[in-house]
Amino acid sequence: MRIEDIDPPREQPGATTAILKSLEAHHLFWDGDVLYQSQRSDAYRDALIALESQQLSYRCTCSRQDLQSDAIYNGHCRHLNLGKERVSAIRLNVEKSLHTLNLNPVIEFDDVFQSKQQQNLLSDVGDFVIHRKDGLFAYQLAVVVDDIFQNITHVIRGADLLDSTARQILLFQLLGTDLNLSPVPTFGHVPLVTNNEGQKLSKQNLAPALDDNTPEKNIFNALQFLQQQPPIELETESLNTILNWAIRYWQPIQGEIRSP
């Protein structure tokens, strides 16, 4: 169990406790201790130092205006050797990283649910930020450092993160140190539940909170909604019986799912 509270200003007070309580109320338990990203700064810093010492990263002082938001970074600061004295972001030198690992720029992976995927890190992504200008560690760096630390073998998550996977595969190979294990986990991206505007259901989009007092009903409704076709008699069964049915009969679904 990992709480990705890397962006403290955005976090609502009490949100973490509510998430953990909600999971427990639905009998969705986890192994080991909870890992909080807010307490992992030393590990993220070590990763930044490791990349910097191999000269695989560099500081970038470009402002938001210098960068066109959707465009690929033009490499303006790549060879300027900027120091720490000015407020700067840190970017990964993608071309040099690929070269160090002897990798092709086209990163390919077999997604469990979306079949073969590929992305060209040079032409589609470019030198991406691993430490933000505002001092926060970038999501891409933090998740990979934590996945390695927690020995994650399968990353199953929402399809909104499909586009981040190639970058993370590169970081896994740069930061994974156990030579006996493949550093890259298996990835599976599941469809998101969205509202009528195609936005994912979340607090930001004002989706109502889950009622922890009705876990049986919630899980049963979720199974129906996710097109798993639970038998109607399951509706009045215990939470564990419903969950065991789900584990046994779960079938992956394709495409986007609209909320009712």
Binding site for Zn ion (CB under 5 A): 60, 62, 76-77
158 close to 192: Cβ distance less than 8 angstroms: yes
258 close to 194: Cβ distance less than 8 angstroms: yes
As measured in angstroms, the least distance from the Cβ of 104 to Zn ion is 26
Measured from the CB atom, is 60 or 138 closer to Zn ion? 60
Measured from the CB atom, is 77 or 242 closer to Zn ion? 77
Measured from the CB atom, is 74 or 199 closer to Zn ion? 74
Measured from the CB atom, is 75 or 188 closer to Zn ion? 75
As measured in angstroms, the least distance from the Cβ of 75 to Zn ion is 8
Is 116 in a helix, a strand, or coil? strand
Element (H, E) at 111: strand 106-111
Rounded distance between C-alpha atoms, residue 170 and residue 243, angstroms: 36
As measured in angstroms, the least distance from the Cβ of 128 to Zn ion is 12
Kindly state the tokens that stand for 94: 């993608």
As measured in angstroms, the least distance from the Cβ of 76 to Zn ion is 4
H helical segments located in the chain: 15-25, 41-53, 94-101, 139-149, 165-175, 215-225, 239-249
Measured from the CB atom, is 77 or 144 closer to Zn ion? 77
25 close to 216: Cβ distance less than 8 angstroms: no
As measured in angstroms, the least distance from the Cβ of 127 to Zn ion is 9
